[in-house]
Amino acid sequence: MEEKIVSGPYGRFNLEISTGKLAKQANGSVVVKLNENILLVTAVASKMKKEGQDFFPLTVDYREKYFATGKIPGGFFKREGKPRDREILASRLIDRPIRPLFPDDFINETQIIATLFSADGKIDTDVLGVIGASASLMISDIPFKGPVGACRVALVDGQLIDSPTFEELEDADLELVLAGTKTTVTTIEASANEVSEEDMLKAIEFGHNIIRQSIELQEKLISQFEIKKMEYEPFVIPQDLKEKIKELTTERLKVLNNIFEKQKRNQEFDKLVKEVLETLKDEYEDYVGIIPSLIEDNRKEMIRERIIKEGIRLDGRKVNEIRKITCEVGLMPRTHGSALFTRGETQSLACLTLGTASDEQVIEDLEGESKKSFMLHYNFPPFSVGEVSPLKGPGRREIGHGFLAEKSLQAVIPSEEIFPYTIRIVSEILESNGSSSMASVCSGSLSLMDAGVPIKCHVAGIAMGLIVEKDHEPVILSDIMGEEDHYGDMDFKVAGTREGITGLQLDTKIEGITIDILRKGFYQAKEGREFILSIMEKTISKPREQLSQYAPRLIQFTIDKDKIGLVIGPGGKMIRSIIEKTGVKVDIDDTGKVTIASTDLASGDEAKRMIDSLVKDIEMGEIYEGKVTKITNFGAFIELLPGKEALMHISQFSHERVNDLNEHLKVGDKVSVKVINVDDNGKVNVSRKVLIENNNPNQNEGEQKHHYRKFGRKDYKKDGS
């Protein structure tokens, strides 16, 4: 196959798509190139569907190779391992816009693999994966109703820019990832600093123009091929079986759909399925496996029809009505902050922990190592939906939901200068009937205030749905339940404050939605968000003034970076000694910023005093209570500060002549001395006799008229002179 290359404008850059050179045994493969970023995307589908299969098994994997930036992976094995969170999120991003565009009757196993082979480290390449997935499917024999395009948009200093660099994103008020067809939007992800609905819509329209450019480029490539799509065995259901299912279930489903409680509704549905299977198993033996899904299809049709025609939802609500909400804070006494947010049959318990800089998450990406001081982790145990399954590590869904909730709250998290703690929120989903990620936003916001984190205001989230039927106006639903998500055409999650949007995610199950529908959805979501915020504010309206008694107390100060080694000591000996003696946690960064974390202020103050003593310079005229470390025939060595010694000449011990200091001192004795000389090499000489009155050579420390503080406070008398 001859290599074919097309290129053209893609916003402010030039995009190139080629095929025919790499991975030619895949059904379709393309190389997408933007500047020095090169991504290979392949599409492969099995020739036949699996026996008894009644769903579409699509898998999407995005992988970044370390060699793409000239690096060798860390770890013992020095090779890429399991996908990192960033790769999982990119895989989900590629999956969501293409999944709705496969034919309903195509259920052959299909796999998309996007591999990053070269990266300049300046831009994120996940959107190139969406373009590559669409292009590889379009030139393949796999049935696909594309193409789709994608782009990333940022709002920086009031200006919209496409394909922003990582550096530009640092100053952005909005980061938006958009995918869609020429006329509709299929996927949106966004994080923002309280951006208005109108500004968000402008960014979407701006990005849609870039999407069209990427689609035109794909069409240019496709036009060079005569593409014949594969012949596949369509997933066909006998019409008489469909009619039989309707006959047996419609009346029962009418009753079932009026049961408002999810568990009872599910129990009745399971009972109905069992009865229908028993009735039809002999007559339709070959289709027993799909009978439950056919009953669901009938139920779906009835639920949608009722919403469209009557405006009545499964639990009796109106289309813009929100379920009952309750909020509680301070439930868990030993956590640093906790909150329970319940909306209908969805419940999130958020538990917050405060830590230090050493608790930050270290992230190793192709661009280098970075640290994250705010984390939100989302857990979805099986009991939350009344099911039994093994407990494993977080799956793709849990990682994606946690990331959405985290970025929705990020806009109100105070800077390190204001609040120098590492913050971790864990959202435990205890019940789930739709919108658990948005419940996590609400419980997370409540837990932040309960912990005393100085956030300026609450953030709330709401999930919106959509029902689109031919010859009817689209219906937008507020605060969707699980079944409305499952049977609906859109899952549109919006989080924000009263001032604007902070997080956004849109997925569709149809071939996209228009900007007009989006606009209506945004403003209906705003009404719902403000209603939820009013309930949260009644529970707790501002951060607690005091942190939990169990939270670490932080003391921060800066030392000369040249003296970091003095604090750490050889092999870490000095800093370990401080930690062991005081029971605190000490972090020192490369700039010399010291953070002490302690359970009480006294131990923190003691650790600070010890560090101050290590880095403090000894100055002329200062008085110290030192410790004798060595006695010689010409004087004694006195440790003034940890690791810092001075010489007291024998003549400086007393006004009287002393022949042998061993008669007056022994190693370990404490003695008050005054610095009388510091030479250019840092050698220090001290004197005891200058602190003793000439007529009272036996005067001890308690009788001295000069009062001092330990470790370097300058000499001063009682009268202040």
User: Does the pLDDT of residue 460 top 90, yes or no?
Assistant: yes
Longest dimension (CA), the chain: 122
* Both tokens assigned to 247: 């006959």
Given 268, 286, 310, the domain boundary residue is: 310
Determine, yes or no, domain membership for 230. Answer: no
Is the same domain home to 408 and 507? Answer: yes
Give a yes or no: residue 71 inside a domain: yes
Res 693: pLDDT: 72
Please say whether the dihedral angle defined by the alpha carbons of residues 236, 237, 240 and 242, taken in this order, is positive or negative.
negative
Q: What is the CATH number of the domain that holds 289?
A: 1.10.10
pLDDT score recorded for residue 698: 52
Nearest to 529, CA basis, from 518, 537, 540, 519: 537
Across the range 492-504, mean pLDDT stands at 98
Q: Which amino acid is at 572?
A: G
Contacting residues for 244 by C-beta, under 8 A, at least 6 apart: 280, 284
Residue-wise burial string across 159-198, b where 16 or more C-beta atoms lie within 10 A, e elsewhere: ebbbbbeeebbeebbbbbbbbbbeebbbbbbbbbbbbebe
Confidence check: pLDDT of 657 > 80: yes
Residue 686 shares a structural domain with residue 592: no
In sequence order, the β-bridge partners of residue 150 are 179
- Nearest-5° Cα angle at 500, 499 to 501: 155
712: CATH: 2.40.50.140
Same domain, yes or no: 197 and 276: no
Element (H, E) at 109: none
Q: Is residue 461 part of a domain?
A: yes
List CB contacts of 653: < 8 A, sequence separation 6 or more. 635, 636, 661, 664, 665, 688, 689
* Residues 434 and 569 grouped into a single domain: no
pLDDT at 59 exceeding the cut of 90: yes
111-120: per-residue pLDDT in tens? 999 999 999 9
Task: Supply the pLDDT for residue 697.
Answer: 47
Query: Residue 149's pLDDT is what?
Result: 98
- Identify whether 318 is part of a domain: no
- 233 within a domain of the structure (yes/no): no
- For 405-443, the pLDDT digits (tens) are 999 999 999 999 899 999 999 999 999 999 999 999 999
Mean pLDDT of 305-334: 95
> Which helix (H) or strand (E) segment is 369 a member of?
strand 368-372
pLDDT of residue 696: 54
pLDDT tens per residue, range 308-319: 999 999 999 999
Domain with 600 in it: 553-615
For residues 354 and 402, state if they share a domain: yes
Q: What is the C-alpha separation between 605 and 620, in angstroms, rounded?
A: 26
Residue 629, pLDDT above cutoff 90: yes
Phi and psi angles of residue 290, each rounded to the nearest 5 degrees, phi first: -105, -5
- Specify burial of residue 585 (Cβ count, 10 A radius: 0-12, 13-18, 19+): buried
Q: What is the CATH number of the domain that holds 525?
A: 3.30.230.70
Mean pLDDT of all residues belonging to the chain = 92
CATH number at residue 558: 3.30.1370.10
Give the Cα separation of 511 and 148 in Å (integer): 10
Is 615 buried (19+), middle (13-18) or exposed (0-12) by CB count in 10 A? Answer: middle
Return the pLDDT at 695: 52
d(CA 603, CA 615): 19
Q: 505 and 592 share a domain?
A: no
Least confident of 143-147, 311-315, 387-391, 677-681: 677-681
Q: Binding site: residue ranges?
A: 485, 491
70: left (phi over 0), alpha (psi -120 to 50) or beta: left
Segment 67-88 mean pLDDT: 91
Residues 120 and 260 reside in one and the same domain: no
- CA–CA gap between residue 478 and residue 488 (Å, rounded): 12
Using pLDDT thresholds of 50, 70 and 90, give the confidence band for residue 92: very high
Shared domain check, 361 and 247: no
Nearest Cα to 501, choosing from 252, 718, 201, 231? 201
pLDDT band for position 235 (cuts 50, 70, 90): confident
145 versus 566: which is more confidently predicted? 145
CB atoms within 10 A of CB 541: 10
Q: For 126-184, write each residue's pLDDT tens digit.
A: 999 999 999 999 999 999 999 999 999 999 999 999 999 999 999 999 999 999 999 99
pLDDT of residue 701: 42
Residue ranges of the annotated binding site for Mg(2+) are 485, 491
Asked if residues 306 and 254 have their Cβ atoms less than 8 Å apart, the reply is: no
Question: Does residue 669 lie in a domain region?
Answer: yes
What is the mean pLDDT of the segment spanning 179-200?
97
245 within 8 A of 121, measured Cβ to Cβ: no
- Summarize pLDDT for 26-38 with one digit per residue, the tens: 999 999 999 999 9
For residue 712, the model assigns a pLDDT of 37
Q: Mean pLDDT throughout 625-654? A: 90
Q: How far is CA 458 from the centre of its chain?
A: 18
> Number of structural domains, the chain?
5
351 secondary structure, DSSP code: E
- Residue 706: inside a domain, yes or no? yes
The count of other CB atoms within 10 Å of the CB of residue 139 is 24
Partners of residue 371 on adjacent β-strands: 362
Pick the closest to residue 87 from 370, 392, 399 (CA basis). Answer: 399
Instruction: Select from 491, 510, 539 the last residue of a domain.
Output: 539
Q: pLDDT grade, residue 357 (50/70/90)?
A: confident
Q: Are residues 610 and 630 in the same domain?
A: no
Question: pLDDT by residue (tens digit) across 602-624?
Answer: 999 999 988 988 888 888 888 98
| Whether residue 160 sits in one domain with residue 14 | yes
Same domain, 187 and 206: yes
- Candidate from 396-405, 636-645, 647-656 with smallest mean pLDDT: 636-645
Does any domain span residue 319? Answer: no
Q: What is the pLDDT of residues 693-717, one digit of tens each?
A: 765 545 444 334 443 434 333 343 3
What pTM was computed for the model?
A: 0.86
In this structure, the answer to whether residues 448 and 388 fall within a common structural domain is yes
Q: pLDDT tens, 277-308?
A: 999 988 888 888 889 989 999 999 999 999 99
Choose the final residue of a domain: 539, 573, 601: 539
